[in-house]
Amino acid sequence: MGNITIKNLSRVLLGLALCLTINKSQAITTTVKGAIPSVVSESSGLDYNGNASFWTHNDGFGDNRLYKVNFSGTLTQTITVTGATNYDWEDLTHDANRDYMFIGDFGNNNCDRTNLCVYRIPYPHTGVVSAAADAIHFSYPDQRSIPSSWMNFDVEAFCHFNGNIYLFTKTDGSAIGYTKMYMIPDNPGTYVATLVDSFYTNDRTTSADINADGTALVLISNSHIHVFKNFSGNNFFNGSHTQINISGSWTQKESVTFTSNNEIYLTDEDNGSGNNLYYVSLSGYIPAATTNAVNEIENSSASVYPNPASELVHFDLSKQFKTVSIQLYDITGKLVNSVSYDNSQQVVMNIDKYSPGIYFYKILAEGNLLKTERLIIQ
């Protein structure tokens, strides 16, 4: 058997323990909502636009277009991304305010690319037909040779969180085991990525997303959904982990996006089967965003500005309420401020004493939740 040092034995035992933990997984069934249009035969990225539609794209073919589909998969809009080439687009994501969309041109199956990048465009809106891209170029700090025989430099999944982009590797060959997580800035430029962490998914990660309040991260593969929650900051892998098996026949699932705090949609490529839009409820694994059975008030709205903010935040409600409460939470979920008003329609909160970062606000009108979203304090 050869010599096994105490250090190596510890690694072996750790790997066995992780395998046992991962095998204690649960199963879930997806619901087909519709077929992806045939023009997108390899839907490799998916991003919910917050308004009953998704953006998606092809995996390669030199196709530098984005396609918007509704909840049933019907094509409603096409945008050409200028100043960009689709070498191997693999995923989509956006920042907290949807100021920008990010397109991951980092597919690297042979671990031999030297032109890895993320494209950044203004978040596309209805009626737009083209968008100019800026490029965020990057390389890996731990890749010693190009091509690499160690097949763990292919990224097909990423998300945006707290001003940075997080990349997750899709391992292959003998490298299958640990998914690595890298971090790069979200501004155009050329960077060496920071290797932040790794996790023993023992899987081939194809897409990622983080929910709107930053409390849960999902990584998907063709057969599994990995849910991470109860983490602090960007220590995603230090929280709790649940592996969920996707029931039914195998298809090549390539993209995921959150539509609520605990609901996701998936797409798969057309490799003889698939090319569909799927719905999955994760309510059994991720709690809803609201608490204490607070219900949203129908036919009411609120305008919150500026966001990002540095001194004052204005909350303009669509009508006057007898009581209004504004609650501000930090990224860990801790309540840092709460103010209440009577007979109010316009409210102002002073936030100049808080450290820069991501926060979340809740607007409670007459005891009911009117709105909850991220607030960026500069």
- Tell me, yes or no, if the two domains 24-281 and 302-377 fold the same way: no
Token pair 């096994």: residue: 4
* 185-205: burial string, b at 16+ Cβ within 10 Å, e else: ebeeeebebeebbbbbbbbbb
What pLDDT does residue 300 have? Answer: 65
How far apart are the C-alpha atoms of 254 and 251, rounded to whole Å? 9
How far apart are the C-alpha atoms of 362 and 245, rounded to whole Å? 34
What pLDDT does residue 250 have? Answer: 87
The dihedral through the CA atoms of 294, 296, 298, 300 has a sign that is positive
How far apart are the C-alpha atoms of 183 and 24, rounded to whole Å? 30
How far apart are the C-alpha atoms of 44 and 90, rounded to whole Å? 5
Structure token digits, residue 205: 């990660």
Three-class DSSP category at 55:
strand
> In Å, what is the CA distance from 371 to each residue of 178, 265, 266, 318, 352?
39, 23, 26, 12, 22
Report CA Rg, the chain. 22
CATH 1.10.3720.10 fits 24-281, yes or no: no
Which positions of the chain have pLDDT values less than 70? 1-25, 289-300, 332-333, 367
DSSP string for residues in 203-224: SB--EEEE-TTS-EEEEE-SSE
Model pTM? Answer: 0.73
Beta bridge partners of 214: none
Three-class DSSP category at 238:
helix
Structure token digits, residue 92: 């989509």
What pLDDT does residue 287 have? Answer: 85
As its CATH architecture, domain 302-377 has: Sandwich (2.60)
Domain segments of the chain: what residues?
A: 24-281, 302-377
